């Protein structure tokens, strides 16, 4: 028993009675109210519910049906929610017809550079600004970010340009300060299975951009999303950013087949980060175009005014002129698959 479908005419009293019944068995409820039906996702170890108990719930007033979900990711599955989730952030709908573009530098370096990049990507058509204030780096000697100072720069950019802010959270202890400034909290690839962090952002009330782990399967990725959603945060955006394979010609292997696979398995929006996927600026544009053709709901693209001097990931960053050219070239591709950009 993983999903309880309520009758269209179920009363509040019947609804509360069902919730009380679940609580008595040590289970929690996640409520999804659709246009025609209200669905209760049962959270917890439902294997301990006997067939007799399941049948008893099935005949409770207000219940239309009770179903089992075989997939381990219940809340993220299409069985739980048939309609695709659309996340509205300051008027930008991720998962809708319009393909959202998140653009900006890998790391926030200073206010002047960030503002200049933001103004240029907005002019080109980007709908979000991205930038890392806390940077997870392979080497402890590499630039680690500006911390809260960088977050303040991002907030200043949002105030001037109107672009919502996407930035990464690495440590649960920083969630309060990140939440103060960010519109979307990014969980990076290295933290995809940092379960303590996932549970923490599940209580944040902020949309979560969950990047795929370096070698994670799609099932593992969706189970990571389930951690966030199990704490009541349904606003999860999945981000394909390439996985580690034997291939060395590119930084990672961008798995664009994950986009249609996820569209079949989950109701969550899916975006693609071609910058990290390939690691080379001249390969970003063709993979961004392929991502749109594959059905991505958005793109995450690194842009810098002077990639040669960037403190992080300059090799994969587009110059503003190249980004503007890409945005123009994406329009007919989006239109060909019934979308717009």
Please write the tens of the pLDDT for every residue from 74-105: 899 998 888 999 999 999 999 999 999 999 99
DSSP state letter for 315: G
Element containing residue 322 per DSSP (H, E)? helix 320-336
pLDDT at 138: 64
Element containing residue 4 per DSSP (H, E)? strand 3-6
Residue 196: HSE in the Cβ half-sphere, 13 Å Cα cutoff? 6
pLDDT at 1: 58
For the cut 80, the answer to whether the pLDDT of residue 241 exceeds it is: yes
Highest mean pLDDT among 66-80, 122-136, 192-206: 192-206
What are the residues whose beta carbons fall under 8 Å from the beta carbon of 274, sequence distance 6 or more?
254, 283, 284, 287, 288, 291, 299, 301
Residue with the bigger pLDDT between 134 and 214: it is 214
pLDDT at 68: 81
For the cut 90, the answer to whether the pLDDT of residue 45 exceeds it is: no
User: Could you tell me the pLDDT band of residue 331, with boundaries at 50, 70 and 90?
Assistant: very high
pLDDT at 142: 64
Which three-class secondary structure state does DSSP give residue 57? Answer: helix
The arithmetic mean of pLDDT across residues 316-336, rounded, is 98
pLDDT at 103: 98
pTM value > 0.75: yes
Which CATH architecture fits 87-336? Alpha-Beta Barrel (3.20)
Instruction: State percent of the chain over pLDDT 90.
Output: 73
Q: Does domain 3-67 have CATH number 3.30.70.1140?
A: yes
What are the residues whose beta carbons fall under 8 Å from the beta carbon of 123, sequence distance 6 or more?
324
Q: Among 131-140, 174-183, 311-320, whose mean pLDDT is lowest?
A: 131-140
Residues of the chain with CATH 3.20.20.70: 87-336
For the cut 70, the answer to whether the pLDDT of residue 180 exceeds it is: yes
Residues of the chain with CATH 3.30.70.1140: 3-67
Q: Classify residue 109 by burial, with Cβ atoms within 10 Å: 0-12, 13-18, 19+.
A: buried
User: Could you tell me the pLDDT band of residue 53, with boundaries at 50, 70 and 90?
Assistant: confident
pLDDT at 37: 78
Q: Among 25-34, 96-105, 223-232, 286-295, whose mean pLDDT is lowest?
A: 25-34
Q: Among 71-75, 137-141, 209-213, 233-237, whose mean pLDDT is lowest?
A: 137-141
The arithmetic mean of pLDDT across residues 153-167, rounded, is 97
Residue with the bigger pLDDT between 86 and 38: it is 86
For the cut 90, the answer to whether the pLDDT of residue 26 exceeds it is: no
| Average pLDDT score, the chain | 93
């Amino acid at each position: 028993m993983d999903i309880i479908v309520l009758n269209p005419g179920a009363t509040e009293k019947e609804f509360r009675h069902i919730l009380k019944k679940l609580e008595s068995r040590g289970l929690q409820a996640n409520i999804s109210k659709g246009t025609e039906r209200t669905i209760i996702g049962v959270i917890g170890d439902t294997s301990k519910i006997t067939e007799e108990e399941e049948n008893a719930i099935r005949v409770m007033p207000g219940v239309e049906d009770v179903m089992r979900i075989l997939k381990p990711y219940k809340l993220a599955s299409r069985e739980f929610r048939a309609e695709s989730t659309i996340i509205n952030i300051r008027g930008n709908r991720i998962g809708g017809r319009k393909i959202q573009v998140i653009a900006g530098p890998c790391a926030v370096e200073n206010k002047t550079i960030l503002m200049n990049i933001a103004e240029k990507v907005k002019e080109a058509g980007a709908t979000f600004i991205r930038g890392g204030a806390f940077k997870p780096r392979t080497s402890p000697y590499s630039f680690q970010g500006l911390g809260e100072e960088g977050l303040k720069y991002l907030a200043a950019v949002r105030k001037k340009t109107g672009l919502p802010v996407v930035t990464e959270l690495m440590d649960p202890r920083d969630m309060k300060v990140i939440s103060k400034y960010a519109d979307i909290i990014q969980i990076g690839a290295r933290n995809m299975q940092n379960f303590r962090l996932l549970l923490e952002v599940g209580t944040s009330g902020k949309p979560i951009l969950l990047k795929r782990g370096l070698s994670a399967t799609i099932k593992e990725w969706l189970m990571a999303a389930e951690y966030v959603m199990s704490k009541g945060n349904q606003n999860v955006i999945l981000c394909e950013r390439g996985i580690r394979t034997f291939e060395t010609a590119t930084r990672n292997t961008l798995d664009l087949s994950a986009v249609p696979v996820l569209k079949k398995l989950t109701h969550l929006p899916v975006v693609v980060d071609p910058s990290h996927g390939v690691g080379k600026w001249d390969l970003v544009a063709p993979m961004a175009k392929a991502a749109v053709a594959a059905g991505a709901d958005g793109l995450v693209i690194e842009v810098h005014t002077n990639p040669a001097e960037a403190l992080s990931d300059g090799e994969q960053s587009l110059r503003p002129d190249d980004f503007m050219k890409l945005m123009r070239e994406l329009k007919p591709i989006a239109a060909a698959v019934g979308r717009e950009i």
